[in-house]
Structure 1
């Protein structure tokens, strides 16, 4: 089993400086979850109370349209945060799903607990604001790549940025993330 406390502390300490006591206090607001491959953390229509910090394994957030076509919004690898942020922050029902591609360990923090520690420790508020901004920038870059680049470029870009994905994630999910068919992905890999 991973040392969840040390992984979270290291993750936070890359950006901000906290005392050991503050880091311990922050960690107390998270709870460790072991989740199995295929297990769903969020289903469309759920009320969303938690965001998840991935310790090990791989998750995906995705949307299923009316024709049951899957659109991958995000993969959640170790060190990444995953949830339906719209539903979490706006207290609405989930419009996306989050499940496990592999067995995984995550730390869950509720919206209320995150807000509590942010109000008590200014540096943690800075950390979460930075993390949210970083996620927004990544989503914007991905959207611009979809608008400006062909599938071959997007495939090569994904491979260069996250080579470990290809060992963790089934090819049909990578194809879904890239917005192509499995057959097209096979041609792109040649």
Structure 2
């Protein structure tokens, strides 16, 4: 839980008493490699803060093709937010890529925490804004950059992901084939 406090304090300071209260809203969950945290069709009741491990969130289209939406490593938040906030079934899958531990926060707990502690409302607002702007940046990158530019920008912005995630998933996330990525960068990264 010390990592969670440090994560929160990157945005807003909290006292010992406040943090003891904040931590009561979270539950710990251990997740095995290849285990689904969320599966398409599930009701989504929580968002997850990654204490350690690696996850990928993806959508599977009608033809069975997987489209990666997000990678989440330590200190990241993850869920199917559309399903969570609208209390609908998920159309997103979230799978664990290595042994992990997450902290679960229900929507009810999040709303209560934000209502009771203004600094947590601010924390969640900053996190949502940061996530939204990152998503917008990714869409613009997919629309305006060639594969080489997308990869180089991704590598510069997310070196920790490049080191941890297999090349086939990086290629899929960037909207290019694994072969194209290998041709552009033949001697780098994990297979």
Once the two structures are superposed, what CA deviation does each residue of 1:43-75 show, in whole Å capped at 9, x if it has no partner? 111110010101111001100111211111000
Q: Is contact 1:155-1:188 (8 Å) kept?
A: no
Match of 1:173 in 2: 169
Unaligned runs of 5+ in 2: 187-191
Structure 1's consecutive aligned runs of 4 or more residues displaced over 4 angstroms after TM superposition are none
Q: Is contact 1:43-1:97 (8 Å) kept?
A: yes
Residues of 2 paired with 1:157 and 1:69: CA distance?
25
1:1-190 mapped onto 2 (5 Å cutoff): 5-190=1-186
**Number of residue pairs matched by the alignment:** 186
Deviation at 1:181, TM superposition (A): 1.3
RMSD of equivalent CA atoms = 0.9
Deviation at 1:33, TM superposition (A): 1.1
Residues of 2 paired with 1:22 and 1:89: CA distance?
26
Unaligned runs of 5+ in 1: none
Residues of 1 paired with 2:149 and 2:99: CA distance?
30
TM-score of the superposition, structure 2-length normalised? 0.95
Deviation at 1:133, TM superposition (A): 0.7
Residues of 2 paired with 1:66 and 1:46: CA distance?
18
Residues of 2 paired with 1:152 and 1:65: CA distance?
26
Residues of 2 paired with 1:18 and 1:61: CA distance?
31
